[in-house]
Amino acid sequence: MIRPDDFRAEAEHFLETNTSRRAQARFVWGEGSDRISALEERTPAQELEQLRDAKRWKACEFDAGFGWITGPEQYGGRGLPAEYARLYSDMRSEYQIPNQTPFGIGLGMVAPTILAHAIPAVRDRYLRSLHRGDIVACQLFSEPVAGSDLAGIQTRARRDGDEWSISGQKVWTSGAQYSDIGEIITRTAPDKPRHQGLTMFLVDMEAPGVDVRPLRQITGGASFNEVFFDDVRVHDSHRLGGVDEGWTVALTTLMNERAAIGGGGAGVGSVSITRLVETARHLGLAEDALVRQHIADVFARITIARYTNLRGMAKVRAGQLPGPEMSIGKLALTQNMQRVSALLADLLGPRLVADSGEWGTYSWSEFVLGVPGMRVAGGTDEIMKNIVGERVLGLPREPRSA
């Protein structure tokens, strides 16, 4: 195995050869774009350009041996311990690289599920391509009626020889418009109890019968989609896990999802405390005792969330599966975003809803309007509270309707 010092030298040579160091950014009020959002809002053309740049970098990174540092060698990984991946991640953060958002779901949620539950031939087919950026994956869980209650889904999969026919609808699917494959949970035995009779598949997003439609948000963007399936054919080899055992497979994905969302956003997305302080200073409120107290409270909670998430991510990097405690990170993220939204409403007043052209004021509205979407993504706040209460704290189960 390569020594850490040699690995560091190799990684530094790769980064220095293929990109440049990131300039130290300093926030200055009134300079540059004042746009700030909870969710990335891009036009279709901007989205495709971002995807092309991301794929180009991902392929370069993978071919150099840094695309899947901890992955099994037979699937294109390097087979090194987690500390090597952490080392490279820390080094890479100092360099300018294309936005890697398009790969977040595929690598953070779908790929680990394929590795854990797919047959070897399917692992061979997809894992290398996912980590090299040749293909992109999305997650097809939520439905219009079931919402975050995966046990209540209605999308059906019916067996037909060596194939399955899938029909139904999914909603709030991020990245479906540019994804090549999707991980979909279906109901295969409607006569069984709710958490039983579910089966997971990998589906070709370009297959006949798949219809992706963008969902317009209150921010004006379309970060999510609804996806319709009309007799979509899937070979049984693309089943993940056993028939009617999809709930267990779904838990693998969900725990990785909450690790990715909570771990990646320990604060409040793109919001910095510096920007909040400068907003208060611009409005002449920086010396107000209550305002200072509220900003300090937000800072303390963001810091606590960050350290909590670091503990959870250390567990994952040590080779352990993400547990229900990862729901704490996701819940902390959205609660902190709500606190920032409430603080902004107090600071800005009418400036938050009326665009006067004043730099750094109305632009906050895009962030505030995006917070409800984050409260749904990866499981609603209510679902997260139930998971934490019942599976982490051991509290009695919430009464369910029959």
Q: Cβ contacts of residue 269 below 8 Å, gap of 6+?
A: 37, 38, 337, 367, 374
Residues designated catalytic? 257
Quote the pLDDT of residue 266. Answer: 38
Q: What one-character DSSP code corresponds to residue 143? A: B
- Of 258 and 180, the structure prediction assigns the larger pLDDT to 180
Confidence at residue 350, expressed as pLDDT on a 0 to 100 scale:
96
Q: Name the nearest CA neighbour of 100 among 61, 141, 65, 154.
A: 61
Instruction: Give dist(CA 112, CA 105) in Å, integer.
Output: 10
Say how far apart CA 114 and CA 144 lie, in whole Å: 26
Contact 392, 325 (CB under 8 A): yes
For the domain made up of 265-392, give the CATH fold: Butyryl-CoA Dehydrogenase, subunit A; domain 3 (1.20.140)
Phi, psi of 215 (to 5 degrees): -110, 120
Non-local (6+) Cβ contacts of 41 within 8 A are 219, 220, 221, 223, 366
Tell me the percentage of the chain whose pLDDT exceeds 70: 91
Distances (CA, A) of 219 to 63, 287, 351, 364: 38, 32, 16, 11
Could you tell me which of 271, 253, 247 has the C-alpha nearest to residue 338?
Answer: 271
- Binning pLDDT at 50, 70 and 90, where does residue 151 land? confident
State the Cα–Cα distance between residues 360 and 286, nearest whole angstrom.
15
Give percent of the chain with pLDDT exceeding 90: 62
pLDDT band at 221 (very low <50, low <70, confident <90, very high): confident
CA distance 33 to 339: 24
Q: What is the pLDDT of residue 382?
A: 84
Res 373: pLDDT: 81
- Residue 266 exposure: Cα atoms within 13 Å on the Cβ side: 16
| pLDDT tens profile 376-398 | 776 788 888 888 888 788 899 87
Which residues neighbour 315 within 8 Å (Cβ) at sequence distance 6 or greater?
Answer: 322, 323
Residue with more model confidence, 348 or 316: 348
Superfamily of structural domain 138-244? Butyryl-CoA Dehydrogenase, subunit A, domain 2 (2.40.110.10)
Pick from 143-157, 271-285, 334-348: least confident: 143-157
Between these two residues, 279 and 316, which has the higher pLDDT value?
Answer: 279
What is the distance between the alpha carbons of residues 388 and 326, in angstroms, rounded to a whole number?
A: 9
Among 36-40, 167-171, 352-356, the least confident range = 36-40
Mean pLDDT of 201-227: 92
Asked if 199 contacts 186 with a C-beta cutoff of 8 angstroms, the reply is yes
Query: How large is the average pLDDT for residues 346-370?
Result: 94
> pLDDT by residue (tens digit) across 55-76?
999 999 999 999 999 999 999 9
Distance, CA of 276 to CA of 27 (rounded, Å): 11
- Please choose, from the candidates 155, 145, 263, 280, the residue with its C-alpha nearest in 3D space to the C-alpha of residue 210: 155
Sketch the domain layout of the chain as residue ranges: 34-135, 138-244, 265-392
- Given a cut of 60, whether residue 208 has pLDDT beyond it is yes
Q: Looking at 247-251, 259-263, 349-353, which range is the least confident one?
A: 259-263
Q: Write the single-letter amino acid at 6.
A: D
Whole-number pLDDT of residue 268: 57
Is 44's pLDDT higher than 80? Answer: yes
d(CA 376, CA 172): 9
| Buried-state track 141-158, b at ≥16 Cβ within 10 A, e below 16 | bbbeebbbebeebebebe
pLDDT tens for each residue of 258-301: 555 554 443 455 567 889 999 999 999 999 999 999 999 999 99
| pTM of the model as a whole | 0.84
Q: What is the pLDDT of residues 87-136, one digit of tens each?
A: 999 999 999 999 999 999 999 899 999 999 999 999 999 999 999 999 99
Helices (H) and strands (E) in the chain, counts: 12, 8
- Predicted confidence at residue 372, as pLDDT, reads 87
Higher pLDDT, residue 30 or 310: 30
- Report pLDDT for 147: 64
C-alpha 126/C-alpha 174 separation (Å) is: 20
Position 270 scores a pLDDT of 52
HEC profile of 170-200: EECCCCHHHCCEEEEEEECCCCCCCCCCEEE
Residue 93 is given by DSSP the state T
Q: Beta-strand (E) ranges in 222-266?
A: 224-235, 239-240
Indicate the pLDDT class of residue 323, thresholds 50, 70 and 90: low
Which CATH number is 34-135's, of 3.30.450.90, 3.20.20.370, 1.10.540.10, 1.10.10.10?
Answer: 1.10.540.10
* Vertex 204: Cα angle to 98 and 257 (nearest 5): 55
Long-range contacts of the stretch 18-22 (C-beta < 8 A, 24+): 18/60, 18/64, 19/57, 19/95, 19/96, 19/97, 20/95, 20/96, 21/94, 21/95, 21/96, 22/93, 22/94, 22/95, 22/96
pLDDT at 145 (0 to 100): 83
- The residue-averaged pLDDT of 363-375 equals 89
The reported pLDDT for the residue numbered 329 is 80
